[in-house]
Structure 1
Amino acid sequence: MFGVVGNWYRRKFSDPNSLMLLLLIISSALILYLFGGILMPVLVAIVIAYLLDVPVSKMESWGARRWLATSFTLVIFFVVCFILAVSLIPVVSKQSVNLVKEIPLIWESTQTWLASLPSKYPNLIEVGYIKQALEGINERVVSFGEQLLSASFSSIGNIAAILIYMILVPLMVFFMLNDKKVFMASISSVLPKERRLITQVGEEMNTQIANYIRGKVIEIAIVGAVSSIAFSVLDLRFAVLLGMLVGFSVLIPYIGAAVVTIPVAIVGLFQFGFTSEFGYLMIVYLIIQALDGNLLVPLLFSEAVSLHPLYIIIAVLLFGGLWGFWGVFFAIPLATLVKALVTAWSSPNQKLDVEADL
């Protein structure tokens, strides 16, 4: 057994470049796992820097100074964010409050419908089973409500953290964009000399992560806006709130679309009942999901969609469990990173032989 493991280790990691890449991956994963909460503002700043690097680099190529291009891009970005926040937050907040107020009515109607099932189908459903199920669900709903209330009170203390984000994140984004070459040179000087595979994987992932972040932001904006407009045209209540939920659901491939279908269907069913309007709503919603999965995603993520759906779901569950929201957000590029690592480690000795022949 140990001989097999030893042979595998010598075959895969006899190249110092492979060993250095493995040590870098392990150390980076440990740092994120142990200090991910503390470093969260840095991760947010990195995401925004990736998002804004293209316009800054474009303006610099046109002759503008780096600091001027960075300042102009940041001002435009945060002005747009402020306008969106001012225009959307009041509407979403009001619709959220109204939806919370109507949840008891929706649940009461659901209980009435469930209680009527035994009389409609006496040979299939017994009254006792329905009562037991409703009692169990009511207990869980009360428990969930208590947890939600306690979480809302505990989140008041996060206001200070939000203020820190508002001050520190823009500063870090400015420095990351303005002094990009300095930081890249510093990172390069720290890395070991045996970094051929590190450079290979790093260049591939740098391009993919940048494209993924920009593509994901564009996808959220398009899907959220189209869904909100479609729901408003169909006169669905809480249209903007549900549209935003549909937009953010694209953060979790496959799973998000399935989960967000539940509130859309419940609100539509409570408002329209089993009518043609409800049918039109679900058809429009399914068309949006189909266009997103079959048209928009291939256009934005031509590299990412080459991953098998099973690998993507496993990546979402694994990295989401480790790092929460950001693990889910970066599930696809992280899965792509694993794929790139497997490719890089597949035959390092053969690659070295080719380089030696050259």
Structure 2
Amino acid sequence: MTLKGVVQGWLHRYFSDEEAVIFALLLIFFFTALLFFGAMLVPFLSAVVLAYLLQGVVSQLKRIGVPELPAVLLAFSLFIGVLLALIFWLLPLLWQQTVSLVRELPAMIRMAQQWLNELHETYPHLISQQQVNNVLNDAVGELRHIGQLLVSLSLASIPSLLTWLVYLILVPILVFFMLKDQRQLVGFITGMMPRKRALMTRIWSEMDAQIANYVRGKALEILIVAAVTWACFAWLGLNYAELLALLVGLSVLVPYIGAAVVTLPVALIALFQFGFSSEFMWVIGVYAVIQALDGNVLVPLLFSEAVNLHPVSIILAVLFFGGLWGFWGVFFAIPLATMIKAILNAWPLALHPEDEEKTLEASD
């Protein structure tokens, strides 16, 4: 078969349906807009995620007999209360712990120097003095880099602060109207779609259920993992329990990779505080149990296999979309991968001409 025949066969298989061609053009427009205007759309995308999250609360309130508008107001009031608690309680606490940790870094480096010197004296053939010096020089260089980064952040804080203030005003407004006028907004969007949209309806039904499940389940997972981690670390007397609990909670946004990355600061802080002792082993053991329960118990309970993606697909999505849009790309990687999977599952496929002839012969 010639190359022309292969191309024609592929086009016939995937784009013989008129609706498939229109939907392909809409997809190209959507991803092009995300690629070039993703940074400007951050408030809107954040509002969409929060609206998905709060819509579950609205639905639960309506099930117990609360009218729609009061349910929306109650859910939105809950959102504002959580937002104010984050701004005026959690963020100052985390900032204080971060500053305290940065101040303790020189002492941690001196302690590491002492351990490395003792290791060199005990095992001179295992580690040389040159290797000890190289490790310490690298650590001091990283410490200086962190200090310069903090200074640059403080100097550039005014524009960033203004941007965040705008976000804090825009996002709640968008969330409120997305909850209040959900039917009108959906009707407006569907009104601009072609009349023949069976494919888009099928994809949207599958994608809507999976993304809603992902957003609400992921929010609950972050909350539960962070709360349990904070309670355990505080009970064990580990320093910076709130800061580490936040990191562990946020690590669930990136399956497999997040847990591996967050293990390092947890282990280092426990090591510098307790040394190689039973307390250190308790911290590592409890952290391992939390990760095991999260992956094997909590995730199946919250998601019920609705977001059924292969681990390789998840990692590829995180790498690709994270490389495009940074943190927000990582955050939306699984929903976008879910959308692509829904599109591939629902895409109409035409039979090859030879297969069509065989099908007709079999039917006769």
TM norm structure 2: 0.89
Offset of residue 106 of structure 1: 1.0
Q: Is 1:36–1:323's contact at 8 Å kept on the other side of the alignment?
A: yes
* DSSP-derived class of the 1:253 partner: coil
Give the letter for the 1:334 counterpart. Answer: L
Amino acid at match of 1:291: L
- Alignment correspondent of 1:206: 208
Deviation at 1:45, TM superposition (A): 1.0
Deviation string 1:282-323 (CA, Å, 9 cap, x unpaired) is 000000000000000111122356322121111111111112
Q: Distance in 1 between matches of 2:87 and 2:156?
A: 23
Residue 91 of structure 2 aligns to a residue in which SS? Answer: helix
Question: How far does residue 51 in structure 1 lie from its aligned partner after superposition?
Answer: 0.8
The 1:348/1:64 distance shift into structure 2, 3 A limit, reads farther
Task: Return the match for 2:30 from 20, 28, 31.
Answer: 28
4+ long deviations beyond 4 Å? 60-65
Distance 1:236 1:291 in 2: 21
Give the C-alpha shift of residue 103 in structure 1.
1.1
Deviation at 1:266, TM superposition (A): 0.5
Q: Residue 104 of structure 1 aligns with which residue?
A: 106
Deviations 1:24-79, CA, capped at 9 Å, x for gaps: 22111111111111111111111111111123234445555433322222112212
Q: Which residue number in structure 2 is paired with residue 162 of structure 1?
A: 164
Pair 202,122 (structure 1): closer, same or farther in 2 beyond 3 Å: same
**Structure-1 residue corresponding to 2:9:** 7
Q: What amino acid is aligned across from residue 196 of structure 1 in structure 2?
A: A
| Structure 1 pair 140–170 and aligned structure 2 pair: CA distance change class (3 A) | closer
TM-score by length of 1: 0.91
Give the CA deviation at 1:264.
0.6
Q: Contact 2:213–2:306 (CA<8 Å) still a contact in 1? A: no
CA offsets per residue over residues 199-236 of structure 1, 9 Å max, x none?
A: 11111111111111111110111000000010011011
| Deviation at residue 252 of structure 1 after TM alignment | 1.1
The alignment partner of 2:249 has SS state of helix
Q: What is the CA–CA distance in structure 1 between the aligned matches of 2:239 and 2:245, rounded to whole Å?
A: 11
Structure 2 equivalent of residue 215 of structure 1: 217
Pair 63,291 (structure 1): closer, same or farther in 2 beyond 3 Å: closer
Residue 91 of structure 2 aligns with which residue?
89
Q: Equivalents in 2 of 1:79, 1:133: separation in Å?
A: 46
Moved more, 16-25 or 35-44: 16-25
1:130-141 pair list within 5 angstroms: 130-141=132-143
- Residue 169 (structure 1) shift: 1.5
How far did 1:274 drift?
A: 0.4
**Residues of 1 paired with 2:302 and 2:154: CA distance?**
36
Q: In structure 2, give the amino acid aligned to 1:232.
A: A
C-alpha distance in 2 between matches for 1:159 and 1:57:
35
Partner of 1:147: 149
1:306 is paired with a residue of what secondary structure? coil
Task: Select between 283-292 and 239-248 the one with higher mean Cα deviation.
Answer: 239-248
Which runs of structure 2 are paired with 1:219-230 in the superposition (5 Å)?
219-230=221-232
1:68/1:281 Cα in 2 relative to 1: closer, same or farther (>3 Å)? same
- Gap change, CA 1:82 and 1:330, over 3 Å in 2: same
Whether 1:285 and 2:277 are equivalent positions in the alignment is no
Q: Is the 8 A contact 2:117 2:132 kept in 1?
A: yes
Confirm whether residue 326 of structure 1 aligns to residue 328 of structure 2: yes
Quote the residue 1:302 is aligned against. Answer: 304
CA RMSD of aligned residues (A): 2.3
CA change 1:237–1:259 in 2 (3 A) is same
CA distance in 1, matches of 2:143, 2:18: 56
The number of residues matched between the two structures is 353
**Residue 140 of structure 1: CA displacement?**
4.3
AA aligned to 1:240 is E
**SS of 2:214's equivalent?**
helix
* Pairwise CA distance, 1:126: 2.6
Paired amino acid for 1:167 = I
Partner of 1:316: 318
Q: Which residue of 2 aligns with 1:182?
A: 184
SS at match of 1:347: coil
Work out which of the residue numbers 231, 235, 240 in structure 2 matches 1:238.
240
Counterpart of 1:272 in structure 2 is 274
Distance in 1 between residues matched to 2:289 and 2:275, nearest whole Å:
21
The superposition leaves residues 114-164 of structure 1 with CA deviations (integer Å, 9 ceiling, x where unpaired) of 344333222233322332343344334423432343134223312112221
Give ranges in structure 2 of 5+ residues lacking alignment.
none
Indicate the larger mover: 306-315 or 43-52: 306-315
Kindly provide the amino acid, as one letter, of the partner of residue 54 in structure 1: G
Letter matched to residue 286 of structure 1: A
Alignment of 1:38-117 (within 5 A): 38-60=40-62, 64-117=66-119
Counterpart Cα distance in 2 of 1:306 and 1:64:
33
Measured after TM superposition, the shift of residue 333 of structure 1 is 2.0
Residue 171 of structure 1 corresponds to 173
In 2: Cα distance, 1:276 partner to 1:148 partner:
35
2:314–2:337 Cα contact (<8 Å) kept? yes
Identical positions, percent: 48
Runs of at least 5 residues in structure 1 that lack an aligned partner in the other structure: none
